[in-house]
Amino acid sequence: MKEGLRQAMAWLHTWTGLIFGWMLFAIFLTGTLSYFNDEISHWMRPEVPVRQVSSEASLTLAQHYLQQHAAGAGRWVISLPSARDPGLSVSWQMPGNEGRRGPREQRQLDPLSGEVLQVRDTRGGDFFYRFHFQLQMPHPWGRWLSTSAAMLMLVALITGIITHKKIFKDFFTFRPRKGQRSWLDGHNAVGVLVLPFHLMITYSSLVIFMYMVMPASILVAYQGDTDGFFSELFPASESPKAQGQPGQLLALAPFVERAREQWGGGQVSLVTVSHPGDIKATVNVMRSSADRVMHEFGSAVAFDGVSGAFLTADPARPAPMVIAGGFYGLHLGHFAGPTLRWLYFICGLAGTAMIGTGLVIWLGKRQLKHARSGVMPFELRLVEVLNIASMSGLLIAVAVFFCANRLLPVSLAGRGEWEENCFFIAWGLSLVHALVRRGRAAWVEQLALAAGLFCVVPLLDALSSEQSLRVLLAQGDWTRLGFDLTCLCSGVFLAWAAWKMQRAGQLSGKTPARAVRAPNVASNVEVN
């Protein structure tokens, strides 16, 4: 019975991993990149300088600009600089268009001088963040598909634990240069090493979208009115309506300090002003999500913008919302400092590697059975093509996305969309290449191309930027320098991987007897 259960779990582990493995690889990789969402966005907007200036000083400059250029607006939104994002952004909406999705004018300002910066149009790190859970598909289909993949990922993790009787013993075992055995050892090692992280990330993603995957209780409690549920969960702030009488808006900087006193410390991310030229002007100071593990879902303190009187603060959160906010915060990792964020990143890469090695193991084990005939069945050839395109091809697409940011003309219309187009064109061409070239040759060539592209990224940054290395060091722009160094290290690692794969192919060609014995080794690797 026990072995029968383990056999069933092995079968389930294998096929859930295979069917959704290619999608999960893309979801994990883009989600891992999203941990440095702000840093990527900063690198992709080199026109935004790093300034050593306080939030209050930047807020004063932003208010001065908006009073000069958007005095008649219905709403101001000011995004303040932070340690991760040095940009000072202002936007405004005209009366009657206020709201999250209403049309708005937006400007990027120098946090030190208040001058308008001509910043290139780019998708930045938000592209990877949105692709992670929407897969570049229309709402809600992408979310449904990514959530379904997360559910099956949880199944794959649990069945993997049940299947491997010696999972923790195997964690300390690695046999290099053993073909399939080495791949399985690597798969087990990265799986066990960051298993708590994998479980947390997968389960928290389901909690975030529980209204989609577990809607029964909501539908019953609210009689099918899901809008009522969200209205109660996220009540809209009741700002006083405009009276049509002119009012003198107070300086915004003191409101930031008063909000911090209300919170008992903390960081400010946004300052919004409703009806800035009216006697009923309202100032909302929003807390940064980087302050604590629990995501606050827009925690804010409201003030009367004319009299300065305190209006409202967020009420105490109910326990279910606190729990949901905790899972949300753990998943996004906004609270993480540099060290913990890098740990998140490494664990995410380990999860990506676990998925990739699993796909390689499945294919390699079955390819060995057809090694003597030299004829590969269509289904195995299909899996091989998808493996190459979904892994090495995706790495090429990411590198092309970064290169496009520096190569596309700054004045190009729809420039951000063209960055996305370059990403998907490169990914599609990798699929065509995998169809034309077979097996190891395709792997080596695509890995080598990805290595070259990642090494080119810092070179393009240096050639296309007016800021020299000395200027970046003087400004303390460690984000751009760190990004370039990370791309260079990634290129070196991929070049090493391409060399190792090519060398392994040469060695296997010289020792056919070893390849003949390989099926006997692989036959004992898994029970499925």
305 in any annotated domain: no
> What is the C-alpha separation between 166 and 170, in angstroms, rounded?
6
User: Which of 186-200, 228-242, 279-293, 395-409 is most confident?
Assistant: 395-409
Question: Which of 72-76, 179-183, 474-478 has the least mean pLDDT?
Answer: 179-183
> What is the C-alpha separation between 47 and 62, in angstroms, rounded?
18
Strand order in the sheet with 105-109: 116-117, 105-109, 88-93, 75-79, 268-274, 282-287, 300-304, 310-313
Which backbone phi and psi does 140 adopt, to 5 degrees? Answer: -100, 15
- DSSP-based three-state secondary structure for 106: strand
Average pLDDT over residues 26-40: 96
User: Which of 226-230, 373-377, 387-391 is most confident?
Assistant: 387-391
Q: Are residues 32 and 150 in the same domain?
A: yes
227 in any annotated domain: no
> What is the C-alpha separation between 480 and 472, in angstroms, rounded?
8
> What is the C-alpha separation between 485 and 387, in angstroms, rounded?
28
Contact present, 233 and 48 (Cβ < 8 Å) = no
Q: Are residues 351 and 455 in the same domain?
A: yes
Q: Which residue has the tokens 């200027």?
A: 471
- DSSP-based three-state secondary structure for 310: strand
> What is the C-alpha separation between 63 and 76, in angstroms, rounded?
9
138 in any annotated domain: yes
- DSSP-based three-state secondary structure for 425: helix
504 in any annotated domain: yes
Helix, strand, coil % in the chain, rounded to nearest 5 = 60, 10, 30
| Percent of the chain topping pLDDT 70 | 87
Q: Are residues 420 and 277 in the same domain?
A: no
Q: Are residues 142 and 107 in the same domain?
A: no
One-letter amino acid identity for 300? A
* Structural domain total, the chain: 2
pLDDT of the residue at 57: 93
For helices 338-368 and 195-208, what crossing angle results, to 10°? 100
Q: Is the pLDDT of residue 511 over 80?
A: no
Confidence of residue 317 (pLDDT cuts 50, 70, 90): confident
Q: Are residues 73 and 32 in the same domain?
A: no
Structure tokens at 432: 């065509």
Evaluated on CA atoms 450, 453, 457, 462, the torsion sign reads: positive
Q: Are residues 459 and 518 in the same domain?
A: yes
Burial class (CB in 10 A: 0-12, 13-18, 19+), 248: exposed
Q: Which residue has the tokens 């729809």?
A: 414
Q: Is the pLDDT of residue 213 over 60?
A: yes
> What is the C-alpha separation between 361 and 93, in angstroms, rounded?
54
Reported as a single tens digit per residue, the pLDDT across 437-453 is 988 899 999 999 999 99
Which residues span the domain enclosing 97?
55-119+235-296
230 in any annotated domain: no
Average pLDDT over residues 430-436: 96
Residues 6+ apart with CB under 8 A from 48: 42, 86, 87, 108, 117, 119
82 in any annotated domain: yes
Any bridge partners for residue 268, and if so which? 287
pLDDT of the residue at 408: 95
Confidence of residue 307 (pLDDT cuts 50, 70, 90): very high
pLDDT of the residue at 522: 35
Instruction: Tell which of 296, 324, 340 closes a domain.
Output: 296
Q: Are residues 135 and 103 in the same domain?
A: no
More confident residue, 176 or 150: 150
> What is the C-alpha separation between 391 and 29, in angstroms, rounded?
9
Q: Are residues 13 and 115 in the same domain?
A: no
Helices (H) and strands (E) in the chain, counts: 20, 8
Closest to 237 (Cα-Cα) out of 295, 290, 291, 312: 312
528 in any annotated domain: no
Q: Are residues 107 and 18 in the same domain?
A: no
Q: Are residues 286 and 423 in the same domain?
A: no
315 in any annotated domain: no
Structure tokens at 321: 């919302």
> What is the C-alpha separation between 351 and 48, in angstroms, rounded?
33
pLDDT of the residue at 1: 45
Any bridge partners for residue 501, and if so which? none
H or E element: which one contains 416? helix 415-436
Average pLDDT over residues 503-510: 68
Q: Are residues 140 and 271 in the same domain?
A: no
Q: Are residues 190 and 256 in the same domain?
A: no
Structure tokens at 116: 């308008």
